[in-house]
Chain A
């Protein structure tokens, strides 16, 4: 009897300016009562054509553009491009520059995860964790402001090293900050992870298996939350990650709660790396020997790093000139977003934001 009943479907337009999309992201949801029948993500509102613009720019000039892709983890974006070019040129990087890069990258990962925790809880309706997380993030951002003169668009790394050496007491400030952050992470853990309302809200929603994650070629925390141990920092240690001692955090169930806990645990691991790097950092130059005009030899090069949201890669096609013939960024947010439709179908509309938030996308990176 129920199957012959005609049901009127409703189309709900979420976004482009919805606060929980963290950018301009439109989601056209077809609803049957409370149930989601279909979800159609519409992207491109923040498209600036980074890859096309890069074709007309020298490699150094592209670096400020990468800042604007994943604007919550701009240091990692800087490194993705710089690392690909260095890999193509087979450059030698001074030790101090490598250590400074590791410190800023891991601090940036912490800052990025802090934003995730704060905004995810805000989307679920908890106001104060957002404020706590942003207070801690502010400390990191202020440190970045001191070393490279900007709070969000750093433009710090250069091909062959970094732009500036650390100011005299900067490393000490990092050393002092790490225990402070560790304490605050414990506090947020205490405040949020022990809260029954939050646990019951996110447990078991947005669930996918290992196989599904691999089929959708997810990476980063989204993949690790299913229990698949894959972290580029361990699998293929780039830079000097092989010198540090840290664990890869994996989840079990692959639900929203696991993704939240993985990110929280990853902050602790990142802080471990920062601590080790800050204690081992040697003196020396911060810029290696780089040719005045950077010309990548003709050919195709791909180098990827573990970004804050997954595998962040830069694919360079060069014809031997000082500008790339084609530059493609493997942007993890864009890839991770593709599973959203599958996760949403059949779910209750109230879970929509909780599922979208847990995937952790940044629209600057999705649209490129």
Chain B
């Protein structure tokens, strides 16, 4: 009898506390920086070293590349089979140029199993939509701005030297 009353006491104490449930489709979860969601892929950075395909425990990455006019390796196809990908993050760990990364995107529902076979375009689109695209753009703009500002500063220094 006493235990029952204790239980009721705890229940009543819960009444004014805040709700912890997230109303998911309407409210989006805030993932931390290291969250391992679906990959993003940036073709310009890739040097076709095959390290991601080699380290993948489930062999879900397949890629091919060829040399372009400047004799540099260029990526031609890059596919990830998300039917068997376990999002273990080993591919991003070994990538020397950070061309494959994880995003905070986690919704990957498809009507067919073939739909989970994602190609380079989809992964790049993921980069633009959910990935580090904006951060990289901002970084580029900042670098460009600094490049513009640097000669101006040097000029003013030179002028100072002339005087």
A residues apposed to B, CB below 8 Å: 57, 60-65, 68, 128, 135, 138, 145-150, 153, 155, 163-164, 167, 187, 190-191, 194-199
Contact = CB atoms under 8 A, between A and B. Distances in A.
Contacts of B10: 187, 190-191
A250 B24 CA distance: 42
Contact of A149 (B2, B20, B89): B89
A149 B7 contact: no
Given A145-B32, A148-B34, A149-B35, A190 B6 contact: yes
A318 B38 CA distance: 35
B34 A147 contact: yes
A62 B55 CA distance: 11
A63 B90 CA distance: 10
Given A149-B36, A150-B36, A61 B90 contact: yes
Nearest to B89: A155
A213 B83 CA distance: 42
A148 B34 CA distance: 6
Contacts of A196: 1-4
Contacts of B57: 57, 61-62, 64-65
Nearest to A148: B34
Given A57-B57, A194-B2, A145 B90 contact: no
A196 B57 CA distance: 50
Contact of A138 (B2, B20, B88): B20
B88 A146 contact: no
Contacts of A145: 31-32, 35
B34 A153 contact: no
A146 B34 contact: yes
Given A64-B57, A146-B34, A191 B90 contact: no
B11 A128 contact: yes
Nearest to B37: A149
B86 interface: yes
Contacts of A164: 34
Which 5 A/B pairs are nearest by Cβ-Cβ distance?
A: A64-B88, A149-B34, A195-B3, A61-B57, A149-B36
A236 B54 CA distance: 38
Contacts of A147: 34
Given A64-B90, A155-B90, A197-B3, 11 more contacts: A61-B55, A64-B57, A64-B86, A68-B86, A145-B31, A155-B88, A163-B93, A167-B32, A190-B6, A194-B2, A197-B4
Nearest to B2: A194
A57 B55 CA distance: 9
B87 interface: yes
B102 interface: yes
A164 B6 CA distance: 44
Contacts of A138: 20
Contact of A60 (B11, B87, B90, B102): B90
Nearest to B31: A145
A164 B89 CA distance: 12
Nearest to A150: B36
A195 B88 contact: no
Contacts of B33: 167
A236 B79 CA distance: 47
15 contacts: A57-B57, A61-B57, A64-B57, A64-B90, A135-B20, A145-B32, A146-B32, A149-B36, A149-B102, A164-B34, A167-B33, A194-B6, A196-B2, A196-B3, A197-B4
